[in-house]
Structure 1
Amino acid sequence: MPEKKVNKAVVCPMCGELSKAVVYTSVNATVDKEQRERVLDGGLFAWKCPSCGYSARLTYPILYNDMKNRFMIYLIPKIDRYQLCDKELEEKYSNLRNINKRVVADFNSFKEKIFIFESGLDDMAVELTKAVIGQTVSKKLDGAEVKNGYLSMYDRESNTMGFTYFTGEEMTPYVQTARLEIYGKSKEIVEQFAIKDKKLKGFIKIDGEWADNILYRYKRAKKIERLNKVKE
């Protein structure tokens, strides 16, 4: 899948002038490593008004393909569906096997998924780990609301991974590290409670909401197990 780009009309929000911008609808990080760097540093989405010099980051749908690490990430701003049902897209890549296909709703999640899969991690287990560690962070901060956590560090040699959360009304960054044993436990939960999700062929949204649902099912199952033991 080579990169694809088109010219789009853009109206400057500062001066109102109409101009054009090069928009990439797809990027192949294996074929063009430079584009990978431009995705991660935001350069691929940077735009500057030729009339007044106003700079902004454009947000638009883009499909990121990494053939070497066998994953595809589809950024569709503000998408709220769990599964992307696009018959044309699915038929186009129907011959691909054992490819992680994800859809994300924002730029930070887009970059995080790339980091996760490049690191050889299971994003479902990462999301569960992130949710559990987020609860710990909230308790540490006297019940402060914890939002928008992202995997920001992974070091197999030191047996740790780290997450950056945004907390409270001020969205203050808070970094919390965790031992990889927690991630290992999360993988076990995924293998038991996300069997159907693993089998889905389309682009699916694996995020905090998904993780909360899996954790709820896991805790409910453990509660039922304890009750059955009491009855015995």
Structure 2
Amino acid sequence: MSDKVIKAIVCPGCGELSKAEIHTSINPARDKTIRKRVLDGELFDFRCPSCGYTAKLNYPLLYNDMKNRFMVYLIPKIDRFQLCDNELENKYSNLRNINKRIVPTFNAFKEKLFIFESGLDDMAVELTKLAISQTVSKKLGNIEVNEGYLSMYDRETNTMGFTYFTGKDKEPYVQTARLEIYGKSKGIIDKFAYKDKKLKGFIKIDREWAENVLYRYKHFRHMEKVRKLNED
């Protein structure tokens, strides 16, 4: 089952007015086919009945996975850290121990699903991704590395992998790492992002957030060194 609405769409190809079925909220536990349709992008497909023009619709979608205890809200181009939506919060106020996230892009949306379905902490994943991106940048001659996604996780081989997009041409570069780095990141998160973990609303956990946590960690270590020097 999912929540749907019918929206009027003006075709960019021929200008004719038609209607499209828009999913506002989906629950993969109730509809076994919906997850594949989301990840394939099929759920966002539009085809004009008049001229056959096809396009991808860009609209907010709430993915509600009760089996894996997470909710991811895709809101295109959202730039807020926390979503303040009283109606939405009241609707799910009886739920406990649910990871609730907002994401601005479809790629980030898919990554969050992969992270939570794998049983990982997305906060620790973001910090690990940031740390490894800095290693990748140095390895490639200090090339710009901004965008990246978790693309592999294997507990048996004790590895996880990230696909980064590097340089002006955004060339893909895959870098694997031992899970010990993720474990260290999780330790940092537990100590320096405990307030974020207690937030009840939908929050955005991304590179900018990870950079802030890393700053807190480095500042703490610096102050510890200063304190020890003063004690000697």
* TM-score class normalised by the smaller sequence: over 0.9
Match of 1:216 in 2: 215
Give the Cα separation in 2 of the matches to 1:68 and 1:179: 28
Q: Which runs of 5+ in 1 are unaligned?
A: none
Q: TM-score, normalised by structure 2?
A: 0.97
Q: AA paired with 1:148?
A: E
Task: Find out whether 1:81 has 2:75 as its counterpart.
Answer: no
Q: AA paired with 1:193?
A: F
Give the Cα separation in 1 of the matches to 2:30 and 2:227: 55
Q: AA paired with 2:18?
A: S
Match of 2:119 in 1: 120
**More displaced 10-residue stretch of structure 1: 43-52 or 107-116:** 43-52
Match of 2:162 in 1: 163
Task: Find out whether 1:106 has 2:105 as its counterpart.
Answer: yes
Q: Cα deviation per residue 1:192-218 (whole Å; 9 max; x = unaligned)?
A: 000110000000000010000000110
Task: Find out whether 1:197 has 2:196 as its counterpart.
Answer: yes
Match of 1:14 in 2: 13
Q: AA paired with 1:126?
A: V
Q: Cα deviation per residue 1:47-83 (whole Å; 9 max; x = unaligned)?
A: 1222332222111011100010000011110111100
Give the Cα separation in 1 of the matches to 2:56 and 2:142: 34
Q: AA paired with 2:22?
A: V
Instruction: State the shift of 1:140 in Å.
Output: 1.2
Match of 2:173 in 1: 174
Alignment partner of 1:189: what SS?
helix
Match of 1:41 in 2: 40
Q: AA paired with 2:213?
A: I
Alignment partner of 1:33: what SS?
coil
Q: Which runs of 5+ in 2 are unaligned?
A: none
Q: AA paired with 1:95?
A: N
Give the Cα separation in 1 of the matches to 2:49 and 2:146: 37
Task: Give the share of equivalent positions with the same residue, in percent.
Answer: 72
Alignment root-mean-square deviation, CA: 0.9
Q: TM-score, normalised by structure 1?
A: 0.97
Alignment partner of 2:33: what SS?
helix
Q: 1:17 to 1:147 in 2, by over 3 A?
A: farther
Match of 1:59 in 2: 58
Instruction: State the shift of 1:111 in Å.
Output: 0.6
Equivalenced residues, count = 231
Match of 2:95 in 1: 96
Match of 2:24 in 1: 25
Alignment partner of 1:121: what SS?
coil
